[in-house]
Amino acid sequence: MALQPAVTDLELLKERPAVECLLSQMPQALQAAKFDRDELTVWIDPVRLIEALKLLRDSPTTTFEYLADVTAVDWFPSEPRFEVVYSILSYQRRERLRVKVRLNSTDPCVESVTSMWAGASPFEREVYDLMGIRFQGHPDLRRILLPDDWQGHPLRKDYPVEGYR
Amino acid sequence: MPAIDYFRAMPVVETVDGDRTMVLNMGPQHPSTHGVLRLLLEIDGETVVRIRPDIGFLHTGIEKTCEAKFYQQVVPMTDRIDYLCPMTNNFAYVLAVEKLLGLEIPPRAMWIRLMLNELTRINSHLVWLGTHAMDIGAMTVFLYCFREREEILKMFEMVAGQRMMTSYFRVGGISMDLPLGFLDYLKNFIAYFPGRIEQYSDLLTKNPIWLGRTKGVAFISKEDARELMLTGPTARGSGVDWDLRRDMPYGGYENLEFKVPVATEGDVFARYEIRVEELRQSTSMVKQAIANLPDGPVKAEAPKVVLPDREKMKTQMESLIHHFKIVTEGFTVPEGEVYMGVESPRGEMGYYVVSDGTAKPYRVHMRSPSFGNLNATGVMCERNLLADVVAAVGSIDIVLGDVDR
């Protein structure tokens, strides 16, 4: 099973229901898309994240009604530095979609999805705790794993793995 | 040095109306929280008004540690996340890395993985059944469950040399073939185990005390299960007909025949029934895996990723070089990212692995089922009796290593 190169051309990905749905309904929200190793990723404009997720959830061609995971990746030192990664899932179509938003290093902040999935709350708290990304509209944004008086966000790439802080 | 407000560290629970309610702390050392879970309960008489889980006591920063390890060195870390189903974690991680590499594994390795993964599920459900029954007051079941679990741990020791932290799976296969006598031992176990399941079931399913403590207790609706991101038996107990093994098969599950039990009652008893039925299904899957187990190699043909056999390493120059390279420098993985979701005994266990083309993962994130399922404590306990908190928290089968990572 040799690896196929990733497809990033939107023209070639138009057939995919998620890309097709976003292109037809909210073309301004879709920044990029990638199909790699049988997994589809779409990059969404951070300000339109909630709208786009709602569209993907409610549209009959996509039906991504279930949120599986929220996490983040730090691409230090490049800019935009952070990527918040949402893994959404469709029970009906048995398909996953990865939705990403890119955030700058100065005050990374994105709208919370707890209004759509109440269960996202601890996941977002974990991202806040370990990556230092704020979620606007989150009901209780506190540290969750680390002590409350902890300094810094350990999963950031500029946080040392060993030695004294 | 700024002053630290220690009270901010505590989850703030404001009482609802004046002095009617009190805040009660449960854990982190409470025996029925299965680890170090702290629950803050606000109670009005015997009724729970609010419940807030406080976690992080077992946080060891595994995700950060993984970034400093070679891909293969991450496997032992994954055991330690969910120590009741080490093989499931190994499985999810190696599948993710194999997907990143585009590596296919030989059929014998695939069947051994499936077999051990289902044995792990039996092991984990036995611990759950035993401890949960003990929490509620049925001591006998605990002893019987641990008797059978001991047999499974013995088998794990046979294959991996370790009872709990197995680290048996490798990227590209498994570390070595099954030892002599293992299959006979397993066949013997699998022959008498279905009878033992009926024994547990006889002790509990019609037991009036058990029914009184579990029927109609800690209800979760189907909508809440979706909203709160619940997975696994917890969600299936509420009528969510979803099992990744059947619906998005991975690692060879498409070759197995099994049923996915679903109940609609949404109470503790429904979750109990589902897990008992899963014990039966897993037993049948292990049987199928034994019947289908082919001969052949257990490691993929990928000299730059998989360590060569000892024999080859000592006789062939090429293999010696590969061995040295893999041990000292690791193997590189092409750039990309993969989310591998598997059905662990507790629910969806997801490994999100990002590679930047080097020998160490750029980011490893574990979406752990217990972390998601802990969301259910609110809907299960609030407005219910304090005495049912133990039954409710036990019924979602949390493992705190899995929650905190």
Alpha helices in chain A (DSSP H): 10-13, 17-25, 49-58, 120-131
pLDDT of residue A28: 86
Residue A109 CB-density burial (10 A; 0-12 exposed, 13-18 middle, 19+ buried): middle
Q: Is B8 on the interface with A (CB under 8 A)?
A: yes
Of B125, B95, B89, which Cα lies nearest the Cα of B110?
B95
Task: Collect all residues of chain A within an 8 Å Cβ-Cβ radius of residue B354.
Answer: 73
Instruction: Count Cβ atoms below 10 Å from residue B310 Cβ, excluding itself.
Output: 11
Phi, psi of B51 (to 5 degrees): -135, 130
Phi, psi of B106 (to 5 degrees): -65, 155
Are B339 and A39 in contact (CB < 8 Å)?
yes
Of B8, B68, B404, the CB nearest to A148: B8
More confident residue, B399 or A164: B399
pLDDT of residue B19: 61
On the question of pLDDT at A86 being above 90, the answer is: yes
On the question of pLDDT at A122 being above 70, the answer is: yes
Are B9 and A39 in contact (CB < 8 Å)?
no
List the CATH code of the domain at B62-404.
1.10.645.10
Q: Is B96 on the interface with A (CB under 8 A)?
A: no
Rounded to 10°, the helix A49-58/A17-25 angle is 120
Instruction: Count Cβ atoms below 10 Å from residue A43 Cβ, excluding itself.
Output: 17
Q: Where are the domains of chain B?
A: 6-54, 62-404
Quick one: pLDDT band at residue B15, thresholds 50, 70, 90? low
What does the alpha-carbon distance between residue B94 and residue B77 come to, in Å, rounded to a whole number? 12
Which class in CATH covers the domain with range A10-106? alpha beta
What does the alpha-carbon distance between residue B403 and residue B98 come to, in Å, rounded to a whole number? 25
pLDDT of residue B18: 58
Is B112:B178 a contact under the CB 8 Å cutoff? yes
Q: Model confidence over A140-157: pLDDT tens digits?
A: 888 888 888 888 888 888
Q: Model confidence over A60-77: pLDDT tens digits?
A: 888 888 899 999 999 988
What does the alpha-carbon distance between residue A123 and residue B352 come to, in Å, rounded to a whole number? 14
CA dihedral (B116, B122, B125, B130) in degrees, to 10, reads -130
Of A64, A132, A36, which Cα lies nearest the Cα of B335?
A36
Average pLDDT, chain B: 87
Amino acid (one-letter) located at B225: A
Query: How many CB contacts within 8 angstroms connect chain A with chain B?
Result: 109
What does the alpha-carbon distance between residue B64 and residue B354 come to, in Å, rounded to a whole number? 13
Name the helix (H) or strand (E) containing A35: strand A30-36
Q: Model confidence over B323-367: pLDDT tens digits?
A: 999 999 988 999 999 999 999 999 899 999 999 989 999 999 999
Are B248 and A94 in contact (CB < 8 Å)?
yes
On the question of pLDDT at B57 being above 50, the answer is: yes
Rounded to 10°, the helix B139-160/B107-136 angle is 160
What does the alpha-carbon distance between residue A161 and residue A156 come to, in Å, rounded to a whole number? 10
With vertex at residue B352, the alpha carbon angle to CA B350 and CA B353, rounded to the nearest 5 degrees, is 140
Are B9 and A148 in contact (CB < 8 Å)?
yes
On the question of pLDDT at A81 being above 50, the answer is: yes
Of A38, A119, A154, the CB nearest to B227: A119
Instruction: Count Cβ atoms below 10 Å from residue A33 Cβ, excluding itself.
Output: 23
On the question of pLDDT at A85 being above 90, the answer is: yes
Q: Where are the domains of chain A?
A: 10-106
Tokens of B126: 């036995």
Chain B residue with minimum CA distance to A2: B102
